Homo-oligomer: A and B are copies of this chain.
Amino acid sequence: MKARPVDKFDRRRDELAESALLTLGELGYARASLREIAGNSPFSHGVVHYYFQDKLELFIYSIRYYKARCVTRYDAVVRDSASPDELIEAFAAKLAQTIRDEAPMHRLWYDLRTQSMFEDGLREAITEIDGTLEAMIWRVVDRYAELREAQPTVSPKAAYGMLDGLFQQALLAHTALGEPVLDQLAAEVRTVLPLLVR
């Protein structure tokens, strides 16, 4: 008996993951039911169980799928910047742009990361992704240090925590107050990044 085509099976799982991410970004984890997710897809709720063991497996698959989308977010900034000022400006602009363009995706990331403190099944995947996000931010800081001919003053983990904290505050403010707050994020990054090298 012929095995099912891998391509189609994975493609369908990816489609369901995209529907899940859409729903999580709109409603949050607490209200992202399988019927809501199915409602954001061309399928019915039963198809989720055809492709995934259960809801948790869908969510874990979705956030791993999400990872592949975003851990290279700032790599162009790192590659294309030829001076420290250029890198700061490009990085600040990119941070604001990604909040502006993909706010729901960022909200769902923080939501799921928070849920991982309550839901053992999410923790391994979230911890792994957080590690790749830390690495992503570290590539920015490290390159900035290189361009400044200086050394980073903090660890990768601390750099990620600090910049992620600024980003999260900007996202919260953006949710509450809208786009004007993003200028402040850019200003903060211009102040903070130089503090991270010496």
Interface residues of A (CB under 8 A from B): 27-31, 107, 110-111, 113-119, 123, 127, 130, 153-155, 157-158, 160-166, 168-172, 175-176, 184, 188, 191-192, 195-196
How far is B169's CA from A164's CA once the two chains are assembled, in angstroms?
Answer: 9
* B154 pairs with A160, CB closer than 8 A: no
State how many angstroms separate the Cβ of A123 from the closest Cβ of chain B.
6
Extra 6 A-B pairs, beta carbons < 8 Å, given A29-B30, A127-B172 = A27-B118, A107-B114, A154-B188, A157-B169, A161-B169, A164-B168
Query: Which chain B residues border A117 with CB–CB below 8 Å?
Result: 28, 107, 110-111, 171-172, 175
Q: How far is the CA of A118 from the CA of B176 in the complex (A)?
A: 10
Q: For A164, give the chain B residue with the smallest CB separation.
A: B165
Of B115, B123, B153, B172, which contacts A116 at CB under 8 A? B172
B161 touching A168, Cβ below 8 Å? yes
One of B116, B192, B196 near A158 (C-beta < 8 A) = B192
